[in-house]
Structure 1
Amino acid sequence: MSQPNAIPVTLAEIARIAGVGRAAASNWRRRHDTFPAPIGGTDVSPQFSLTEVEAWLRDQGKLRDIGEKERLWPQFDALGDRAETGRAIAVTALKQQHHDVVLESEPELSLSHSAEHLVDRAIALAEREGPREVFEFLLGRWLDTHVRQISSTPEPLAQLMAEIAERVRTGTESSGPRTVLDPACGSGGLLRAAADVCVGGSDGMDPVLLAGAEKDPVLAALAAARLSLTSLEDTASRPWTVDVRTADSLREDSHPDLRVDLVLCNPPFNERDWGYEELATDPRWVYGLPPRTEPELAWVEHAVSKLRPGGVAVLLLPPAAASRKAGRRIRGALLRAGVLRAVIALPSGCAPPHSVALQLWVLQADRPGQRTDVGHSVHLIDAGDAAKNADGLDWIALRSGVFAAIGVKDHALRQDSPGDFALWQIRSVTVPTIDLLDDEVDLTPARHVPAGSSGSFVELRESWSRFSTLLAEVQQSAGSLSSIGLSAKEDGQPGITTIGELARAGALVVYAGQLPAEGSVRTGAVSKAGVPFLAVSDLLMGGEPGGWIPEQEVAAAALRTTERNDVIVSGVTRAFFAWVEDRAATVLGPQLYALRVDPAKLDPWFLAGCLRAPANGRQAGTHTSSSARVDVRKLQVLQVPIAEQRRYGEVFRQVVRFEQTVQELGDLGAVLVRELSNNLSAGRLSQS
C-alpha cells in the first residue's frame, strides 16, 4: 500500500542497514510473516517503508547504526528519474565547491522542489561529515544503481593511466604547468585521478587546468561537480580551473583551441554512428581518415591532435583496435610518425566489459627537433597473466611491471618486495618500428613477446621450491592414507539411505540452483558488491566460478546463496562432483544443488565423501539423454552414527587434500616443463 511520506528502501538497502548479505534480506521477507509489506516498486524489486523496516529490525535485534548518509541515499533514489537524481547529486557539490577551484563553465541544472529539499539536507550533512565524503558516497551509489547504463573507469586503473601519462611525459621528475583533457570524461574518474597525480608530483604553484567533455549532460555536470571538490590540503593556495563541457568530442571538438600536456580517455567502444560521413574532411585525421568500423582509432587521432609537443595520451581500447585489418593503415602511420610509444595488454576484468582483456595505448606528440622516421621502437607489454592476490588483481605488481617495461621508475614499489617482484608474470619486448610495418601491422603484444620471457628467474626458483614442498606433502599424505585399514568383509556393513530420505527426516535441506535473469551475470574479477556465480560449465573448465552477479540483483531476484559447510552437488553425469563449500556465499546455477545439513545429525565431510564416489553418480543417473542428469535425491549415503560419520569425514577430508595436492603438483610440473622448454629454446642455458 502506498505511503506518500514514507522513505522507500529496496531489499538491497535493507541488507545494508542490517549489515548482511542481500540474499539474507530476501530470506527474511519469505520466512517472517511480520516483515513489513511493500509500499511500492514492482514484484521483482519491491520497496518498503524505511521507518517500518527499522522498527522490524529493532524488534528482531538486527538493527545497527547505519549513519546519516545511508538514510539520505534512499531519498535521492526515490526521486525515481536517473537524470533528476544525478542532477541533484551534482548540485550538492557545486554549491560547496572549493574556494581555490574555478569552474570555467558551470552547468545550469534545474531541479524539482523535492530534489532541492534533498540537496539542502545533503549540504547540511556535508557540513558535519565533509563535502567530498558525502558527494562521493552519493555518486558511488548512483553509479552502482545504474551500472548497466553507465560504465566508469575503476579507480586503480584510472590512477595507473594517469601515472603512466605523467611519468612518460616527464620521466621521474615532475615540474611545470599541468593541463589535462578527457574528451569522453563520463563522471570524471580519469580527471580525478589526474588531479591526484598533479598534486602529488608537482613543484611550485603552477596552475592546473582539468578539461573534459561528455555528451551526457548529467554525467558532465557530475564530472564538473566532482572536480570542484578536489582536495588540495597540501597545496591549498594553488589555482585550479575546471572546464567540463557537454559535447560529443568527435562530432564537435569541445575545446578547439586547447592543447594539453596529458590526455586520458576511456572512449565508448564499437560505436558505428560516430560521425564518419560528416567528418570525412576533418583536419584532425593527420594519420588518415578512420574507417567507419574503427571509431576507436578516431578517438586516438583526436587525442593526439590535442597534445602539445611532448604531451602524452593514454587511452583504454579494446584489443581489436590493435589488429583489425581496417585500421592497419592508420596504425602504420602512427608508427612511422613515432607517435605510438607502447601498447599494454591488461588482464581481463580490469574494467567494463570485464570479459575482455583491454589494452592501454600510450602515445606521445613529437618534441621540437625529434626525429619522426622508422628508427623508433615500441614497447609491447603483455600483462594478461598479471599476479593476483587475496583481493583480486595485484595492482602494485602490475604498475611496477609496466613502469619497468617502459623504462620509468616506480617510486611506489613496496619495500618488502623482491627485486623483480614487479615483473611477475608480465612479459614485454621492445620492437623496432620497422619490424611492425608488415602487411598486418598487428600491435597485439602477445603476437610479439618471445615465449621464453614469460617468467622471471626468481619466479622459476620459487616454482621449484613449491614443487618440492608439494612433493613432500604428497609423500606424507600417501603414507598416511596407505596405512588406513580397509575391511574385505561384506557382512556387518552399514546400511544405505538416500538424500531424499535424509531430507524427509530433517537431517538436511536440498536447495536447487536457479537460472539468473538474462544479462545479470557479469564476467571478470568479482566486484566488492558482487556474489560469485557458479555454473555446470565452470566445473568442466576447472571448478571456479566464471561469473558474478551484483548483490543488489541477487536480492531483487531472490536468488539463494550458499553458506559455509553446505555440501554442493552437481546434477550432471559428465560433471558429477560433490564438495564442502568454503566460500561465504555463491549463487548456484541450474543443475547444481546445495545440501544444508543439521550438524547434530550429519557431518558435511562425511556426506560429501559418500556422494562424490563416481559409482554413486552413475547409479543415480537418469540416462534419458546424451547428457545424463543425476537425480540428487537418489544419491546414496551410509547409515552410521554421528561419531562414526566424523571419523569417516576426517578420512574423506584427507582424501580430498591428497587429491588437491596431486592435482596442484601435476599443474605445477607442467608449468615447469613449459618454462624450462621456453628458456632452453631461447638459448638461455648457462655456459658454466
Structure 2
Amino acid sequence: MTTDAAQQLINPSGIARLAGVAPSTVSNWRTRDEGFPQPENDNAARPLFSVEKITAWLKSKNIEIAPRSHAYVLADTIRGTVAPDRFLDLVFPLLCAEHWARDSGGSLADGMIDTEEVRQSGGTYDASLVLATAAKDLASDHPLVASAITRARQELHLEWKGTPKLEQVCMIISEINDLSRVAEDLVEATARNAKSPLNVHSAPRSFARFLNALLPPGGDAFADLACGFGQTLMVAAEARPEIGLVGNDIDQEALAISACRLFLISRPASLGHSDLLESQPGPGYDRVVLHPPFGLRISDTQLARPWPFGLPLKGQSDLLWPQLAYQELGKDGYASVVIPTAALSRGGKAREVWARMISQGAIEAVISLPGNTQLNTALPVSVLVLRTDASSRGVLMVHLPDSDAFSNKRTADESQWEAYESVVQLLAAWRQGKSGATGISVEVPREKLLAPDAVLAPQSWLAALAPLSEDRVEEVAETVKQAASAWEHAIFDWELPTNARWLEPYSGDPVPLRPISELAQCIPHGTYSKPKEAPEDSIQPVRVFTLRSLRTGKPEVLPGYSARGARSVTTQPGDILVATVGRTIITLVCREEGAEVDRNVGLVRPAKNAWDADFLAQQLMADHNQAMLSGVTVQRVDVRRLLVPTLPFAEQKALGTIIRQFSYFAERANAAAQQAEQYISAVRNAVASGRFTLAERP
C-alpha cells in the first residue's frame, strides 16, 4: 500500500476512538501536555492531526492503540481535502469500481498504470484509466453507478491534481475484504454529522426496518417512491430477497448513492430519477414505501393532476403523498406512508380527503410515533398503512408512547427497533383476526371515523374507546395514590422561617449605594454560544448556565467545543449570575464550579470575605436597579452599573440567613404545588377512564 499514516489526518473524536478514551480526555491532553502534536491545519474549530504523529505520541505514553476500521482509514486519508458531506459521493463510486474489478478477476491496484506525472508527485501509479474503464463497462447495465464513477474520477482528479491521493485511496480500497460493510460503516459514521445530506435524504435503519415490516410478506415488486440514499431499499433487499426492487427520487446524487449501495451487495434494482408529483403512476406495485419531504410548496401544475380522494388546500401538500402511494399500488397491495402527525387533525378540505380514504377502506392502520424518530427533526411523525383490498373491519389506531429508546436522535438503533417491533407484531396479530384493543391500540369502526368532528389522531381514540384492563386499572389507582403520598410528604416536615420580622428603622445617615463594579469583579455577559457549523466530532456536552438555569437553579447540558477557549467564562461557587427576563432583573447564586455561562447571562464575582452572596444577589434585584433596564424591544441591563449598599459583613450574613431560610421555604412550597398539580392530573385522567369514582360519596 503506497499510503501511510503520515499522509492521513484525524480529528479529536478520531483520536479518542483510537486511544479508547472520552473526547474530553483528548481536550485535556491538548491543553495540558506541551508535547501533544499540533494541528496540521489552521482551523481552530476543526483541528486535524497527523495520524503518524498522534500514534507516536500515544505509544510514547504507553497508551494502547485500538485498531482502525477500513472505513476510518479511508476517511482519515481524504480528511481535510474533501468536505465531510461529500465523502459518500466520492468514495462510494471508488468502492463500486473495485467491486467491478473483482468481478472481472482483479482489483483496482491491478489496473493502475505507471506514469511520469504521478511519479513526480510522489506516487507510483495512475488510477484514472482503470476508473474510466470501469465506468464505460458499467454504463449499459448500471448507468447510475457508471455516472457516479465518472463524476468522482473527474472531481477527485481536479481536487487532488498533482498529488498521489487518488492512487493511495484506491490502494486502500483494494485491500478491503467486505466492500459493502465498509460502505455501510461510512453511512453510519456520516449520519452523525448534523450537516450531512443523509439527514435529508435518509432515515435511521431502525425506522426503515419499521416501514418495511409494516407491510405483509409476499408480492413481486417493492417500490420506494422517495428512496433517497436507499436505506429502505437496503432493508428490503435483506428482508425480501426474492422480490423485485424499484426506487425513485428527485435528487440525482442521492439516487446514485442508492445505486452504489445496491451494486455493492449485487442486488439488481430499477432506479428512476423523476418528480413523483409530476410523473404518471407506475404499473402497480405490491408493496410501496413513501417517506417524503414535509411541507413542500405545490405548483398549480402539480395540483391539476387527478387525485383519487380529492384536492386539499394548496398549503396542505402532506395530504397528497398518501394519495400518490395509493395510486401506485396494484391489486392486494399495501403501502406505508410517513406524514407529519399534525396532518391527522386537520379539518376542512383535509378532513374531506381523510373521509373519502376511510369510506373506501384505503386506510388500514394509523400509527403515531414519539419524537426523535428522524435524523433531521425531533418532531413526531405518524405512519399510515394503506391497502387496496377494502376490509369490513375498522381502522387500527396505534400510539407508540415515548420511552428511553427515543430520548434523543442518536439513541441506539437496536433499542428503537425493539419499540417498533412491538407495533409490527400487534398489527400482524390484528390482521390474523385478533383483537386490536391493547394498552397502545384500539380498532375504530369506520362509521365513527366518518363523524363530522372525528380526527385520525390515535391518542384521542385510545382515550375514548380503549378499555382499561384490570392490571391497568390497578396501575392508575396506584398512580393516584402515589401522587397523593408525594404531596403529603412534601408538606409533612415544613419548617417555617424564623426571624421573619428581624428589621427595624435606621436613624443614622443612609447607607451609601455604590456601583458593584467598584466592589467586585463584573463580567457583562458570558461566552458560551451553541456551535453552528462545527463537525460533531469536535463537539462534546458541556454544562451551561442559561436564562432557563436562573429559573431552575441548575445548568443545562448543551453541545460545546471539545477544546474550551482560554477566555471562556466559567463559574465558581459563590458567583452571582444576572440576567433579564421580560422587564425584570433576576439573579442566582451559583453553587457549581466549572460551568460555562451563556452570552445572555452576566456574572458578578464578589470577594468571599467581604460579601454574603445571597444578600448581594437580592440587592442586585432591588427596585432602584430594576429602573436601570434599557432597550425598546428587549430589556437589558449592564451589571457593572448596578448599585448595592455597603453594609458591614456581619449584617450582610445576618440578612443572608433570613434570605436563605425563606428561599428554602419557597422551594419546598413550589415543590408541594407541583406535587398537587400532578395529583390533580392523576385524578382527572382516572375519572376520564370511566372506571373510577369517589371512595366515599358526599
The TM-score normalised by the length of structure 1 is 0.66
Distance 1:67 1:352, change over 3 A: closer
Report the AA paired with residue 625 of structure 1: L
Displacement of 1:338 after TM fit? 0.9
Aligned to 2:674: 667
Match 1:256 to one of 282, 304, 316? 282
Shift of 1:277: 1.0
Give the alignment of 1:134-153 within 5 angstroms: 134-145=182-193, 147=195, 149-151=197-199, 152-153=202-203
> What is the rounded CA distance, in whole Å, between the counterparts of 2:233 and 2:486 in structure 1?
47
Residue 589 (structure 1) aligned with residue 598 (structure 2): yes
Q: Which residue of 2 aligns with 1:305?
A: 327
Please list the CA deviations of residues 3-39 of structure 1 after superposition, one character each: whole Å capped at 9, or x if unmatched. Answer: xx85444555556556666677678767777766654
Q: Confirm or deny: 8 A CA contact 1:294 1:326 kept in the other structure.
A: no
Of residues 681, 685, 688 in structure 1, which corresponds to 2:692? Answer: 685
**Contact 1:38/1:48 (8 A) holds in 2:** yes
The alpha carbon displacement at 1:267 in A equals 0.8
Q: Is 2:483–2:678's contact at 8 Å kept on the other side of the alignment?
A: no
Cα distance, 1:183 vs. partner? 1.4
Q: What's the counterpart of residue 89 of structure 2?
A: 87
1:189 to 231, 243, 256: 231
**1:577 is matched with which residue: 576, 579, 588?**
588
1:386–1:398 CA contact under 8 A, matched in 2: no
Change in CA separation of 1:182 and 1:446 when aligned onto 2, cut-off 3 Å: same
Paired residues of 1:348 and 1:356 also in contact (CA < 8 A):
yes
User: 2:421 aligned with 1:386, yes or no?
Assistant: no
- Is structure 2 residue 290 aligned with structure 1 residue 265? yes
Within a 5 Å distance, the mapping from 1:250-399 to structure 2 comes to 250-251=276-277, 256-257=282-283, 259-261=285-287, 263-272=288-297, 276-277=300-301, 280-281=304-305, 285-289=307-311, 292-322=314-344, 323=346, 325-366=348-389, 370=390, 377-383=394-400, 386-388=402-404, 392=408, 395=416, 398-399=419-420
**2:629 corresponds to which of 625, 632, 657:** 625
| Secondary structure in structure 2 of the residue aligned to 1:408 | helix
How far did residue 141 of structure 1 move? 3.1
Larger radius of gyration: 2
* Number of residue pairs aligned between Structure 1 and Structure 2: 600
Query: What CA deviation, in whole Å up to 9, does each residue of 1:293-347 have, x standing for no partner?
Result: 3433332222222323333222222234331645344323212211112333322
Q: Does structure 1 residue 247 correspond to structure 2 residue 273?
A: yes
- Between the aligned partners of 2:684 and 2:82, the Cα distance in structure 1 is 60
User: Does the 8 Å contact 2:16/2:22 carry over to 1?
Assistant: yes
* Aligned mates of 2:591, 2:14 — CA distance in 1: 31
Aligned residues: CA RMSD: 5.9
Distance of aligned partners of 1:468 and 1:45 in 2 relative to their CA distance in 1, 3 Å threshold:
same
Q: Are 2:602 and 2:639, in contact at CA under 8 Å, matched by a contact in 1?
A: no
- Distance in 1 of aligned mates of 2:356 and 2:76: 52
Change (3 A) 1:56 1:119: closer
State the distance in 2 between where 1:144 and 1:407 align.
Answer: 33
Q: Offset at 1:207?
A: 1.1
Match of 1:213 among 236, 248, 252: 248
- Whether the 8 Å CA contact 1:463–1:668 is kept in 2: the answer is no
Structure 1 residues 625-634 or 240-249, which shifts more?
Answer: 625-634
What CA distance in whole angstroms lies between the structure 2 residues aligned with 1:19 and 1:350? 29
Equivalent position amino acid for 1:248 in 2: S
Aligned pair in 2 of structure 1 residues 628, 78: CA closer, same or farther (>3 Å)? Answer: closer
Aligned to 2:511: none
- Where 1:126 maps in the other structure, the secondary structure is coil
Question: Identity percentage over the alignment?
Answer: 19
Q: Alpha carbons of 1:176 and 1:358: their partners in 2 closer, same or farther (altered >3 Å)?
A: closer
Please give the per-residue CA displacement for 1:403-462, whole angstroms capped at 9, x wherever unaligned. 58757379xxxxxxxxx9994xx5x55443334446677434456553797994354245
Matched, 1:443 2:456: yes
The 5 A counterparts of 1:470-485 are 470=486, 474=490, 478=494
Match status 1:516 vs 2:551: no
Q: Which residue of 2 aligns with 1:495?
A: none
Q: SS of the residue aligned with 1:277? A: helix
1:363, CA displacement in angstroms?
1.5
Paired letter, 2:680: V
Does structure 1 retain, via aligned residues, the 8 Å contact 2:579–2:601? yes
Q: Unpaired segments of 5 or more residues in structure 1?
A: 170-174, 200-205, 231-239, 411-419, 491-497
> Structure 1 residues 389, 670: CA separation in 2 closer, same or farther (over 3 Å shift)?
farther
Flag the 1:459–1:85 CA change in 2: closer, same or farther, 3 A: same
Unaligned runs of 5+ in 2: 1-5, 104-137, 505-514
Instruction: Report the CA distance between 1:667 and its aligned residue.
Output: 3.4
Q: Which amino acid aligns with 2:367?
A: I
The answer to whether the 8 Å contact 2:487/2:675 transfers is no
Q: 1:356 to 1:36 in 2, by over 3 A?
A: same
Q: 1:301 to 1:559 in 2, by over 3 A?
A: farther
- 3-state SS of paired residue (2:295): coil
Question: CA 1:120/1:324 → structure 2, altered by over 3 Å: closer, same or farther?
Answer: farther
Distance in 1 of aligned mates of 2:291 and 2:639: 49
Indicate if the aligned counterparts of 2:249 and 2:274 stay in contact, CA closer than 8 A. yes
Matching residue's letter, 2:292: P
